[in-house]
Amino acid sequence: MAFDPDRLDKRDARAVRAILPIARLISERYLRLHRDGLEHIEQVAREPVLFVSNHNGGISGPDLTCTLATLWETLGSETPLYALAHDFVMRQLTPLGRLLQRFGAVRASPENALRVLDRGAKALVYPGGDLEAFRHSRDRDRIVWGERTGFMRVAQRAGVAVVPIVVHGAHRSAFIFHDGEWIARAMRLERWGRLRKFPLALALPWGIAVGPWAPYLPLPFPIRLRVLPPMRFTSTVDPCAARDIVRAAMQGALDD
């Protein structure tokens, strides 16, 4: 049967329950995760919501493990939570996409985000995508979203709260010494993979990890995760202005 990256009925709560102890062990023991602001997750536990986070470290970035473990543990494995995953993973790495779909991954698009929220479920989105995940290590303490406003338009159209989740430390899991923007242009990655970066990184166990598809072993730097209070914007607010408000709040937390 052909793989459909847009399906929502493949999420398996049993698979989430099975992997949660492993994700918790990695987060707490290996990455020494420290969390605060969990009461803000509990505050929106009974309503559809758009969780918005900063992205770090690419395909093996430990931020996703820490964030999902936190959300699953706080909300419960039965709560329908979907993570909007990049086209490259869901369309080009289909065996991985098929596996991730069991844990709630769905191809990132405004239409899919609205489908999730219209069902009364919760969505996790990384507005920066590859721009942020593959940024140079000198920018590791910056929220990098470019001019993207799609997530805000989704939240406003669906009438749901935006709950920011800020992760610090995960971008030290590998040292990205070149974001490879010109390489991505030369390979026309944006055309077939929606990728504008081709990172080169110092990472275990390869020494040098080449490209956005190279898995690596994250270095065990401690990670701190902070959930900010829900933010609500009516449809009359300019999406660019709303995005900048959310980004400023997250940058302030990251700076702190």
Is residue 223 within 8 Å of residue 205, measured between CB atoms? no
In what side-by-side order are the strands of the sheet with 34-36? Answer: 34-36, 224-227, 161-168, 49-53, 122-125, 81-85, 105-107
Query: What single-letter amino acid sits at 241?
Result: A
What pairs with residue 84 in β-bridges?
A: 106
Q: Judge whether residue 191 has pLDDT over 90.
A: no
Structure-token pair, residue 82: 């979907």
The confidence band for 192, taking pLDDT boundaries of 50, 70 and 90, is confident
pLDDT by residue (tens digit) across 206-237?
999 998 888 899 999 999 999 999 999 999 99
Cα distance between residue 36 and residue 38, in whole Å: 6
Mean pLDDT of the region 149-160: 97
DSSP 174: S
Angle between helices 150-158 and 110-118 (to 10 degrees): 30
Length of the chain: 256
The CA dihedral of 181, 184, 185, 187, to the nearest 10 degrees, is: 160
- Please compute the mean of the pLDDT values over residues 177-197 and round it to a whole number: 91
Query: Alpha carbon of 231 to those of 70, 170, 247: distances in Å?
Result: 20, 24, 12
- Distance, in Å, from the CA atom of 27 to the CA atom of 64, rounded to the nearest integer, reads 10
- Write out pLDDT tens, residues 24-79: 999 999 999 999 999 999 999 999 999 999 999 877 889 999 999 999 999 999 99
> What is the reported pTM?
0.95
Give the CA diameter of the chain: 50
Q: What is the mean pLDDT of the chain?
A: 94
pLDDT of residue 7: 95
Q: What is the reported pLDDT for 215?
A: 86
